[in-house]
């Protein structure tokens, strides 16, 4: 029996107009969700954060940024700071998503700076790691995610200050937006690796407490089987989080 509360996190990426967002947020707000059984989070684009805060006020739904800079302020055109995310109503921030790593050349070193800055600002980071198809085929999966863990969490690990509330997301790159989900066994194997790494490097209790989300083509049809795995504590959902019906049916996996 897992003691960790499941978390279903919606990553909207660069999608939805304000009107579309309004409809989706209204659908989430109006739904019967048992917040004792599940935590729910939405990560809209920056320009939709204010609307999300307004429409979700009075609910238990958390709001996250999809990225941020590590500095508090300054000449960083196009960037957003931890404090700005907080002011916009965010409690969490997604860091090191594979699209950021692949398309915007983010490295685990910069993710590490962001992890440190987010924690110091009082935001909970959702730190993404995962291997490409090529890396999996070359049997490098655990080397890759091991290195991403070590480098992305470096500062807080060295300081002995990695918080239990930190959230990890294992997202095999080949499963994102492709309709190819990792099998529950493949996902569990990777999650167990992450959990063992955390226990060895951060401490048993923290490693046990940290939630590890699975991401990559999560759908209403596969969520139950994924959630039945001992080390899968929730999901980071892209495509299927853009419609209220599919996101809600993923959230309500607990209905059995």
Applying CB under 6 A, the residues found at the interface with ligand PGA are: 11, 171, 176-177, 215-218, 236-240
Q: Of residues 97, 99, 106, 135, which has the active-site annotation?
A: 97
Q: What minimum distance in Å lies between the beta carbon of 160 and ligand PGA?
A: 30
Under DSSP, the state recorded for 255 is G
200 classed as catalytic: no
Joined together, the tokens standing for residue 132 give: 């490409």
Residue closest to 52 by CA, chosen among 220, 44, 60? 44
Angle subtended at Cα 157 by Cα 147 and Cα 62, rounded to the nearest 5 degrees: 90
Q: Which is nearer to ligand PGA, 99 or 116 (CB)?
A: 99
**Residues 49 and 88: beta-carbon distance below 8 Å:** yes
CB of 80 to ligand PGA, least distance (A): 19
Beta-sheet strands, E only, within 97-250: 124-129, 167-170, 211-215, 234-237
Instruction: Tell me whether residue 174 or residue 193 sits nearer to ligand PGA (CB atom).
Output: 174
Q: Using CB atoms, what's the residue nearest to ligand PGA?
A: 238
Closer residue to ligand PGA, CB minimum distance, 191 or 202 = 191
**Least Å distance between CB 198 and ligand PGA?**
20
- Helix boundaries (H) for 69-107: 82-87, 98-103
Nearer to ligand PGA, 89 or 239 (CB): 239
Beta carbons of 129 and 152 less than 8 angstroms apart: yes
Active site residue 69: no
Q: Least separation, in Å, of the C-beta of 186 and ligand PGA? A: 15
Positions marked active-site: 97, 171
């Amino acid at each position: 029996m897992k003691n960790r509360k499941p978390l279903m996190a919606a990553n909207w990426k660069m999608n939805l107009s304000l009107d579309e967002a309004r409809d989706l947020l209204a659908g989430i707000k109006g739904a019967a969700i048992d917040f004792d059984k599940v935590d729910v989070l939405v990560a809209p684009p920056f320009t939709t954060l204010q609307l999300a805060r307004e429409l979700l006020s009075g609910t238990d739904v958390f709001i996250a940024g999809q990225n941020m800079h590590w500095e508090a302020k300054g000449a960083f055109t196009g960037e957003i700071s931890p404090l700005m995310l907080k002011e916009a109503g965010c409690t969490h921030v997604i860091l090191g998503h594979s699209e950021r790593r692949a398309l915007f050349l983010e490295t685990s070193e910069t993710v590490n700076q962001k992890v440190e800055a987010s924690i110091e600002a009082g935001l909970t980071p959702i730190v993404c790691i995962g291997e490409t198809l090529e890396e999996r085929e070359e049997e490098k999966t655990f080397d890759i995610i091991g290195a991403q863990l070590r480098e992305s969490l470096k500062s807080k690990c060295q300081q002995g200050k990695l918080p239990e509330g930190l959230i990890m997301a294992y997202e095999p790159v080949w499963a994102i937006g492709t309709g190819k989900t990792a099998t529950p066994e493949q996902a569990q194997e990777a999650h167990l690796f992450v959990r063992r790494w955390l226990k060895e490097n951060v401490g048993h209790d923290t490693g046990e407490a940290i939630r590890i989300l699975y991401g990559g083509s999560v759908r209403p049809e596969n969520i139950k089987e994924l959630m039945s795995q001992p080390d899968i504590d929730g999901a980071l959902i892209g495509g299927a989080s853009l419609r209220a019906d599919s996101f809600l049916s993923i959230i309500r996996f607990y209905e059995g």
